[in-house]
Amino acid sequence: MAHCTYIFLDFRNNELWEYRHIPCVRYFAMIPMAENVIEIDQSNFDSTLKANPKLVVDCWAAWCGPCRMIGPIIERMAKEYSGKVAFAKLNVDENPQLSQTYRIMAIPTLLFFKDGKVVDQIVGLVPKEEIEEVMRRKL
């Protein structure tokens, strides 16, 4: 039996949630999604870079529609690449200093770090295959 999956952003605490409608049972299940994605901010950014030689940072904001659309892609990739590449989310509204440091002018922006240095970036909503191509070439 097929399941329908809906992705929502809980604006109360900026968490992504997955709602699965299971037809035979007819209820909605709410499951937190950010288990494999590191939430970074000014306080843990440097330590996260040092701890993860291959890191993809999703720079986003709660009000950004394309950011909410790329979020589930990042979640799935974090699960698929677990142990190989780390994935993190950086809220640009809550961390303006980091946004300035990395010259984030538009969101979503994906920053690709290798050994603590930015090796590439993607601006805008892109398919998973494009993200994987950059990862293959640069990480």
Q: Are residues 43 and 86 in the same domain?
A: yes
Q: Are residues 39 and 78 in the same domain?
A: yes
| pLDDT given for residue 135 in this prediction | 97
Q: What is the CATH number of the domain that holds 75?
A: 3.40.30.10
- Render pLDDT for 47-57 as a digit per residue (tens, 0 to 9): 999 999 999 99
Our answer to whether residue 4 is catalytic in this structure is no
Rounded to 10 deg, the angle between the 65-80 and 128-138 helix axes is 60
Q: Are residues 63 and 121 in the same domain?
A: yes
| pLDDT given for residue 35 in this prediction | 74
| pLDDT given for residue 4 in this prediction | 46
Q: Are residues 25 and 68 in the same domain?
A: no
Q: Are residues 69 and 11 in the same domain?
A: no
Considering the candidates 4, 24, 59, 67, report the single residue annotated as catalytic: 67
- If one counts the domains in the chain, the total is 2
Question: Domain residues for 95?
Answer: 34-138
Q: Are residues 128 and 102 in the same domain?
A: yes
Q: Are residues 77 and 127 in the same domain?
A: yes
Cβ burial, residue 89 (10 Å; 0-12/13-18/19+): buried
pTM, whole model, 2 decimals? 0.76
Q: Are residues 66 and 134 in the same domain?
A: yes
Our answer to whether residue 59 is catalytic in this structure is no
Considering the candidates 4, 24, 59, 64, report the single residue annotated as catalytic: 64
